[in-house]
Structure 1
Amino acid sequence: MPLHRVCGVFAFLSLCLISITPHCHGGNILVFPIDGSHWINMKVLLEELHARGHSLTVIRASNSWYIPEKSPLYTSITLEIGVGMEDFFDVFLQEQMKALREEDSLLTLKLTKDFLFMISEAHSLWTGAVSKIFEDHNMTKTLTDSQYDLVLTDPAIGPGVVLAKYLKLPVVLNVRWIPSGEGHFVLAPSPLSYIPVPGSGLTDKMNFIQRVKNMLFYSIILFQQKFVVGPYYEALCDKYIEGGCDIITLLQEADIWLFRSDFVFDFPRPTMPNVVYIGGFQCKPAQPLPADLEDFVQSAGEHGVIIMTLGTLVNALPKDVADEIASVFAKLPQKVIWRHKGERPSTLGNNTLIVDWMPQKDLLGHPQTRVFVAHGGTNGVQEAIYHGVPVLGIPLFFDQYDNLLRLQERGAGKILQLADVNGKTFEEGIKELLHQDSYRENIQRMSRLHRDQPMAPMDQAVFWIEYVMRHKGAPHLRTEAYKMPWYSYYCVDVLLLLLTAVTVLLMSTVAVFR
């Protein structure tokens, strides 16, 4: 057969194969998300699930900050949960920054108390809202008749797993945070000798004093679970779940856990078969910038651009700090793009562009970007790793210091505490990241490691969600160790038996000789 005819037949067959799309059964998924920055990540996952033909129903609060009632992605169920937490949270953030700035121990203690109150109030509101679902027979019948394939929920607030238990549905958890800390600690062996507790500010290399500190932080987590969070869910389970339950057991019963982390970023540690690491799943190649922003970036020439943002929750730093930072930016040859919604700094230079919003992913992926000044939120840190941009971090609250510490330990970033921010320290930090090549080399190495995977993190996430739907759960991947009492888990009973046997043997031997 002539070569051109062979090529023609091959092209025709290839076209036929491409046109045959594989059959995809669209699942029916009930989603119980958390508002704020957690929703931003959940929405990325929902967009992908929707694009693959799945039907989504989202449970939201009537006073939600970010989750709209109407969306082309999903239908929604709106719950009344009483007063919102947004105003309280704004006040807390301002007080937190003041405490960090002034290093006021009394104010820090007050903030700790306020934070525990805020956490307690949030769980109280949501468990109360779920109680209304269980009391509304029409609502529960609607949920049951909808024949959902699974519940996709954020475990930082527990009602999603309680609802899944009530409806007897498989569960996929998205995000590694739980009501009392980090999910690994209730799921996998977690030796405190080398696994730092979130909030401790420690690495996986600890001396004796640091291990004592780590143990103390772990005791705080246990206190929070036992006395601050746990009672709300125990009361809810005792009333509505046959046989009762507790929030930790429900989390341990989850079929798949999507952890927004990976071991390029995190410290190595024991894990479990039903944990899927999807760190950076929201990251994508950079898209072209708007024309005006591209012109500004290109005007920087060989010096490049610095970008700064403190995330969605923090609009502005204290005025004196903002003025100090602006004065440093004004002296640099680089151009600066700064997301800042507070009072305009009086020391602002002509090289600095103040914006209300920025296309952060696209700017991080731009070849002109030299340094990322950030608060250390998980999204920003993972996007910086993906695009290979060194980070000057100013941590403010929650897990931000721990996130930045992992970059600093790998030589890919530098931490500057808010209490230490002034013109001199900020300028030194910026220039260190700009002029020491090791920072860029280290984070670009992390970027290469992160990207070198057999399957993209988003594809992994969707595969395992669909896996749970196909197989009606994944109990074969879940350890049954959580059903064991603590003395059996740690073999205390076995050790006591062996010690008793040895003692009896020794005493018998002594008795014979006597």
Structure 2
Amino acid sequence: MVVKSASISFLIVMAVASSIEGSSILVSVPFGTKSHKNMYVPLVQELVTRGHNITVITNYMTADFMNLDNVREIVLEQLCLNMSHYPNVFDSLLSSSWNWGNWGLTSQLLRTQSEYPPKVTNVLYDNPKVQQMLAKDTFDLVIASQVLLMSSAPLAWHFKAPLIVFSPNTLFPGMATILGDDEHTSYVPLVFSPYTNMMNLWQRIINTLATNMILVFQQWYEGSIIPSIVKEKGMPCYAELDEIIRNVTVVLTNSHPSFSYPRSLPPQVIEVGGIHCRSPKPLPNNLENFVSGADGFLLFSIGSLQNMEDMPEYLLQSFIRIFSRLPLRVIWQWKGKIRSDLPANVLAIPWLPQQDLLGHPGCRAFITHGGLNSLQEAIYHGVPMLGIPFGIDQFLNLRRAVNDGYALQLQWKEINENTLNTAIQHLLFNKSFSDAAVRLSGLLRDQMETPLERAAFWTEYVIRHNGSVDHLRLGSRELAPYQRSLIDVYLLLILVGITPLVLVLLCFRNCSCSSKNKVTARDVKNKQE
């Protein structure tokens, strides 16, 4: 009897496993920087090893997918970010009197945000491969980026598939509200700001106003612009866009308390920050020979968008002179034409295996723009940082890193030989920075399962249950904003509390008036007598 029960249990387990193996999953990321790939590429690779078939819509071709048989990639090349179309970001930063993230790279990218939602939507649904996919394919699950989610969300309605959303950062404004939570602007800083979770009155005012401006912008596009475009593209009967997004099953965020400010999260939000972090691989021979020839090395990289040749000459010379005096080797990621006057201890290369270098025992410090993925890798491998932000979330990231003690920060307009040398010397020879980096590394690594395992589990969880995750939904999702904020409750309590006082005052008034009338009547009578 026991054997028979065990056999039945085994068959049930195998049936459930086989029901999710070979599922068809659509990952829609039509717009974003190359760094966004760090959030979903590891998940796609993991799901492939579990037998799933993946279709990815992206604006950059992915080299990691080249040798994977059951991954199909639809590349929307028209949506590649070309920084040559923007003003020189160094000029913008150096001429601005502001230090807030809305200037520099942030201001350049957000300046054209009003153009991107309709452009992305048009390019997405006009693509012949996407049109063929819409006509012939079926999917068990749609995973969409929170960046311009409004463009990808109709795909979940079209394929009648559950929708998972992933964020390349923390929750963006609006998603918490959709899930029944509040934006918590009192202690959750806007991703584009340099604020912390301890804001003063003025900062809370700015934080609240800026967050609500973004929410109004999103509602405008979600309510009118994007729906009209999607209807024109052949899906005239699709449900209201906000209703599609409200039915999101799970949200994966690129956050973790070791590097992002903690906040209350609905049960449907799963933190998988550091999902792309991994153990280092051996370096190519040319890099290993270079870094092994000295007592450690320093890594310098400012992301995938900026060309080093765009940097003003006086700034370049500051870096070159300081690097030439270091007793270390320097590996400098150099996009653009590489100079011939670099010091012998400096190796400039257009692409570098950043995680493998950060994980190398000889890596002493990391000079970075402060992008979230770079920051996660530095923490994971326990490397102190010097951050020089351009914009977007980098001011926020580096403010937290400085407060946690493993980083220093400079503004681009503060850089000269003196400030640069002082910062680098502190990082290299003040042990507190490396100690703090190692401590944060321990916090990030100390988890019950890896972020990748957690993301894969919840992805398959949604597939196993056909998107039925109502048990995770907050009851507040069914309440109006004034009900969530308990405005009706407080008004009623105030009314109940004030009513007796008003009645007492009216009684006193009436009594006073009666007394006055009696006195007046008596006075009149006395006068008449």
TM range (shorter): 0.7 to 0.9
- C-alpha spacing 1:504/1:449, structure 2 compared with 1 (3 Å): same
Task: Assess, with a 3 A threshold, how the Cα gap between structure 1 residues 104 and 229 changes in structure 2: closer, same or farther.
Answer: farther
2:463 — aligned with what?
469
The alpha carbon displacement at 1:503 in A equals 3.6
User: Does 1:287 find its partner at 2:281?
Assistant: yes
1:409 equivalent to 2:403? Answer yes
Q: Is residue 86 from structure 1 mapped to residue 81 from structure 2 by the alignment? A: yes
Name the CA shift for 1:419/1:270 in 2 (closer, same or farther; >3 Å).
same
Partner in structure 2 of residue 484 of structure 1: 479
Q: Distance in 2 between matches of 1:57 and 1:125?
A: 22
In the TM superposition, what is the alpha-carbon distance from 1:383 to its structure 2 partner?
A: 0.6
The equivalent of 2:92 in structure 1 is 99
Counterpart CA distance in 2 for 1:166 and 1:179 is: 25
Aligned residue for 1:120, secondary structure, equals coil
Instruction: Assess, with a 3 A threshold, how the Cα gap between structure 1 residues 132 and 190 changes in structure 2: closer, same or farther.
Output: same
Which of 21, 27, 33 aligns to 2:23? It is: 27
Give the CA deviation at 1:76.
Answer: 3.6
Retained in 1: the 8 A contact 2:169–2:372?
no
SS in 2 for 1:366: coil
Tell me the SS of whatever aligns to 2:115.
helix
Q: 1:79 to 1:382 in 2, by over 3 A?
A: closer
1:57 aligns to 2:52 (yes or no): no
Aligned-residue CA RMSD (Å): 3.2
**Offset at 1:254?**
1.3
* Structure 1 pair 421–348 and aligned structure 2 pair: CA distance change class (3 A): same
- Rounded Cα–Cα distance in structure 1 between residues aligned with 2:133 and 2:286: 50
Question: Residue 93 of structure 2 contacts residue 104 of structure 2 at CA under 8 Å; is this kept in 1?
Answer: no
After superposition, residues 6-155 of structure 1 pair within 5 angstroms as 24=18, 25-33=21-29, 34-35=31-32, 36-60=34-58, 64=60, 66=62, 72-76=68-72, 78=74, 83-84=78-79, 86-87=81-82, 89-92=83-86, 94-103=87-96, 115-132=109-126, 139-143=133-137, 146=138, 148-155=139-146
The 1:139–1:452 alpha-carbon spacing in structure 2 relative to 1, beyond 3 Å, is closer
Checking the alignment, whether the CA contact within 8 Å between 2:251 and 2:268 is kept in structure 1 is: yes
**What amino acid is the match of 1:212?**
I
In structure 1, distance between residues paired with 2:217 and 2:251: 22
Unaligned runs of at least 5 residues, structure 1: 1-19
Q: Which one scores higher on RCO, CA 8 angstroms, separation ≥ 6?
A: 2
Alpha-carbon displacement from aligned partner over 1:476-507 (angstroms, at most 9, x marks no partner): 21224334222222122222333333343333
In 1, Cα distance between equivalents of 2:350 and 2:318: 20
Q: Indicate if the aligned counterparts of 2:28 and 2:58 stay in contact, CA closer than 8 A.
A: yes
| CA deviation vs aligned residue, 1:232-289 (integer Å, no higher than 9, x gap) | 3343577747585345x54443111111110111112111111111111111111111
Return the alpha-carbon distance in structure 2 between the equivalents of residues 80 and 449 of structure 1: 38
Cα contact 1:189–1:270 (8 A) shared by 2: no
The 3 A distance-change label for structure 1 pair 378 and 140 is same
Read off the aligned partner of 2:488 and give its amino acid letter.
Answer: D
- 1:446 alignment counterpart: 440
Q: CA contact under 8 A between 2:106 and 2:390: conserved in structure 1?
A: no
Query: In 2, Cα distance between the equivalents of 1:425 and 1:182?
Result: 40
Residue type of the alignment partner of 1:98: D
Query: Do structure 1's residue 157 and structure 2's residue 155 form an aligned pair?
Result: no
Counting only pairs closer than 5 Å after superposition, residues 357-436 of structure 1 correspond to structure 2 as 357-436=351-430
**Partner SS state of residue 192, structure 1:** coil
Q: Which amino acid aligns with 2:293?
A: S
In structure 1, C-alpha distance between the alignment counterparts of 2:491 and 2:210, rounded to whole Å: 30
Distance 1:278 1:226, change over 3 A: same
Contact 1:286 1:363 in 2 (8 A): yes
Cα offsets for 1:392-412 (capped at 9, x unmatched): 111112111111221111001
Do the aligned partners of 1:174 and 1:257 also contact (CA within 8 Å) in 2? yes
Equivalent-residue separation in structure 2 for 1:369 and 1:99 (angstroms): 32
Conserved? CA contact 2:142–2:164, under 8 Å? yes
Between stretches 366-375 and 415-424, larger displacement belongs to 415-424
Q: Which aligned pairs between 1:314-353 and structure 2 lie closer than 5 A? A: 314-316=306-308, 317-320=310-313, 321-345=315-339, 348-353=342-347
Please state how far the C-alpha of 1:131 moved relative to its aligned partner: 4.9
| Residues 1:232 and 2:263 are matched in the alignment | no
Please identify, of 209-218 and 154-163, the stretch whose mean Cα deviation from structure 2 is larger. Answer: 209-218
1:273 aligns with 2:273: no
* Equivalent in 434, 453, 456 of residue 459 of structure 1: 453
Cα offset, 1:416, TM superposition: 1.0
2:522 corresponds to: none
User: Is 1:218–2:214 an aligned residue pair?
Assistant: no
Report the CA distance between 1:30 and its aligned residue: 1.2
Q: Following the alignment from structure 2 to structure 1, what is the Cα–Cα distance between the partners of residues 254 and 175?
A: 11
Aligned residues of 1:180 and 1:221 also touching (Cα < 8 A): no
Asked if structure 1 preserves the Cα contact closer than 8 Å seen for 2:96 and 2:103, the reply is no
Runs (5+) with no aligned partner, structure 2 = 1-13, 511-529
Q: Deviations over 1:288-341 (max 9, x none)?
A: 11122111111113xx11011111222315142222111111111011001112
Matched residue count: 481
1:97 maps to a residue whose letter is F
By how many angstroms is 1:97 displaced?
Answer: 2.1
Q: In the aligned structure 1, how far is the partner of 2:168 from the partner of 2:174?
A: 6
Contact 1:30 1:58 in 2 (8 A): yes
1:169-180 residue pairs with structure 2 within 5 A?
169-176=161-168
1:166 aligns with 2:158: yes
Task: For 1:334, give the aligned amino acid.
Answer: L
The DSSP-based 3-state class of the residue aligned with 1:56 is strand
- Answer yes or no: is the 8 Å Cα contact 1:70–1:76 preserved in 2: no
State the alpha-carbon separation in 1 of the partners of residues 400 and 170 from structure 2: 21
Q: Aligned equivalents of 2:46 and 2:257: distance in 1?
A: 24
The structural deviation recorded for 1:51 is 1.2
TM-superposed CA distance for 1:150, in Å, is: 0.7
| CA shift for structure 1 position 214 | 2.0
CA distance in structure 2 between the aligned counterparts of 1:348 and 1:177, rounded to whole angstroms: 36
- CA distance in 1: counterparts of 2:25 and 2:320, whole angstroms: 47
